[in-house]
Structure 1
Amino acid sequence: MLLQNADAIIARPYRDRQVIVLSHDDATRDDQPAEAKLSDYFRHNALTGPPPSVWLKRDYWADSRNYGIFGYAFDRLRGRTGSGNGGSGDGGRLVRVDGADIERIVDFPPGHPRYDVAYVGHPLRPNKYVPMASFHRAMFIDKFFELTHILTALGAREISVNYSSDRSDKKGGSVGFSVAEELVGKLETSAETRNVRKSSGELKATFEPEGEPALPDDLAWYPHETAWRSVARSRLDGGLNTIEVALRYEDDFGINGKVAAGLKGCGIELGGHFEEFERTVWRFSGTFA
């Protein structure tokens, strides 16, 4: 299969274009392993004496290229390559795309796209991709602002957002907790045990509605959220004057730490520190004008 251009990628079903990686023009196939280069397997490997600080990192030992000739032989036996082109580790999930015209129709964050970085597509906006590391953060924030936009367009005068969660205090990012710190602002935390801490916070905002209540355009999540649709109908058809609705983020879309580690093991970057999925429910309350 030749490298896919942007138009061909967007036309695919989501399951067949979920994760993409930009390749240079000289990388011509995504279904056949490229020829592994022995030189790729001597980047700070044990034979060349890496500094102790590198030895202490788990990612160092998870990358077969750091084992020199032994890692080269192992990957050849597995049918994997030094550059991560294809191989059994990402077959059926990772799509190699031609980087020449991808920016023409695909929306990336500032500073992107970059070669050999995994990007995950928005499940409901085919032309939007974000680095895998920040995928769950981006999706949650997208839902947060869409619901806020809907409520203000329907004439919200006052909105209160409440968040609470028990969070495992483990190494690595946690989307619900970190986004709460970013969006809610004042966040109260208390250590319950050595491994778990409770977090809670509240965001309040007031508005001065103008015009008649109406649904905004360009909504992605709304058609799939029964509670959101119920609030909108009650407001538009029945004059609802109170807000009681939840924002739920309960699907990891198959993007998890195992997938991220597998791609990194094939030499593909994630675009930052991977933030794990966390089931999160935020409750919106308030009044309409």
Structure 2
Amino acid sequence: METRNQTDVSEFLLLGLTDDPELQPFIFLLFLSMYLVTVLGNLLIILAVSSDSHLHTPMYFFLSNLSFTDICISTTTMPKMLVNIQAHNQSITYRGCLIQICFALVFASLENFLLAVMAYDRYVAICYPLRYTVIMNPQLCVLLILLSLFISAVIGLLHSLMALRLSFCKDLEIPHFFCELPQVIKLACSDTLINNILIYSVAGLFGGVLLSGIIFSYIQIVSSVLRMPSLGAKLKAFSTCGSHLLVVSLFYMTGFGVYISFIVNDSSKKSAVASVMYLVVPQMMNPFIYSLRNRDIKGALKKLNSGLHSFLCLYDEAK
């Protein structure tokens, strides 16, 4: 195969989920709807938390950051796909591809960290309720967010810089709807050993350390709850963790599904569909999970709706 240095590469081709032109309008409408639902749903969560003083607690502070991260993940990947479908153009520039890789990794990593931080928050709240406000003070909450963002940014930049050293073959077609790092590495004709080692090391960090931390937190939570004498106290404790546990399960189950699909499937198209389940579905479902299962969020959303209705009424009267 003829190789091309990275400086000679001008663009990649994103083949998307299907090459059937008759399905493109359906895919466009489906993903546009999913993107709008994701953005609007997570924006409502952020507005509800910021507008209700009763929700100015560590748990909802982390939730609003999670919602913001969900918006960023979807915005990194989906708009470019929608533009390409509408313009009947599959290309993405080399620089744009690297930027997309970087931001997708940053925000996907940040989501992993936030889920672990939220699990720790629930662990402290249930296992050490009398010391909760002392341990989870505002300074620690902000520090945890900044530290998570810093590590995520380092991971994204490191992967992107390592991708810069790759040389590519003539075939620059990515069988995906966005520039996913493993798919880009597959196109390289130069040695990718270091890149693959880095990928597996970071996956080990998230799968080994962060997920283990989440599991440990919930083992301690369940142990503490079972020792509670009152059934009402047990149900209340479990209800505060239910939404987060569902979000964690959805995120990691879809993530493991993508990983397994890479191993057992030779079809890149099937892997692309599996990635949709990881990078699109959890971000869209998170607002529904929290708003439907959390009484405080429901109340805040009702207040937000009432306030918006009152504002519109005053605006109509002023006109």
Q: Same fold (TM over 0.5)?
A: no
| TM-score, structure 2 normalization | 0.21
Larger Rg: 1
Which structure shows the higher strand fraction?
Answer: 1
Which structure shows the higher helix fraction?
Answer: 2
| TM-score, structure 1 normalization | 0.22
